[in-house]
A and B are shown apart, each in its own frame.
Chain A
């Protein structure tokens, strides 16, 4: 249990286009999902916290208009990188918290990540 999927796993796009990344909790409902960014050989940096049915909370320095987050259901959150540029190339990882009573609520379960390359 507590499986999180991401799609696509890898995407290459041209500069100026928009890319949508999906994050799904497969066997549980996630009222809160998180989006992280990881540069090569670096740690994970939290970009935003996504709560179902409300606006995402962005970390300082993260452009809201560039990284659009939608959390329309309890099992799906999407991150759209708008007008992507080469500097947006990175590894994007989502995570979700499982609020079932038998699960430790503070544990985040991570998706497999999406590698974005902007040419």
Chain B
């Protein structure tokens, strides 16, 4: 069965601190996709990153970085020098392999990040 676990329900940090959001996934597919989405209080889901199962390169985008480790089935997300605007709920999601599949996304329960000034 496919499953995404975000063990941290809520995290609170002070501005400029670094914070890592954990994501562990389970899947039997050999080809799959991992995503992070941000959901600010307004409710809209903002796409942050997509990773293929065959690409384990870590990625950095500004203050955001992602660490994909297939060996531990983890896809962790780090925000460096956090800012108040980073406050949101962050969802990790697992997508089925393309190639005729519906492409459903399985979401973790989300981690609520609060960044205090």
Contact = CB atoms under 8 A, between A and B. Distances in A.
Interface stretch (B14-22, B58-66, B70-78, B101-109): B101-109
Contacts of B91: 43-44
Contacts of A57: 102
Contacts of A41: 112
Given A42-B109, A43-B91, A43-B110, A109 B47 contact: yes
A4 to B, nearest CB: 9
Interface residues of B, number: 22
Contacts of A42: 109
B117 interface: no
Interface string A77-117: 00000000000000101010100000011111111110100
Contacts of A111: 44
A25 interface: no
Contact of A43 (B44, B46, B95, B109): B109
Contact of A106 (B33, B109, B110): B33
Given A106-B50, A110-B37, A44 B43 contact: no
A107 B50 contact: yes
Nearest to A42: B109
A46 interface: yes
B43 A91 contact: yes
Interface in A41-75: 41-44, 46, 49, 57
A7 B3 CA distance: 31
Given A32-B102, A104-B50, A112 B42 contact: yes
A113 B43 contact: yes
A106 B95 contact: yes
Nearest to A110: B45
B38 to A, nearest CB: 11
A56 to B, nearest CB: 11
11 contacts: A34-B104, A43-B109, A44-B91, A106-B33, A106-B50, A107-B33, A108-B95, A110-B37, A110-B44, A111-B44, A112-B43
Given A110-B37, A110-B44, 10 more contacts: A32-B102, A34-B104, A91-B43, A97-B103, A108-B47, A108-B95, A108-B105, A109-B47, A112-B44, A113-B43
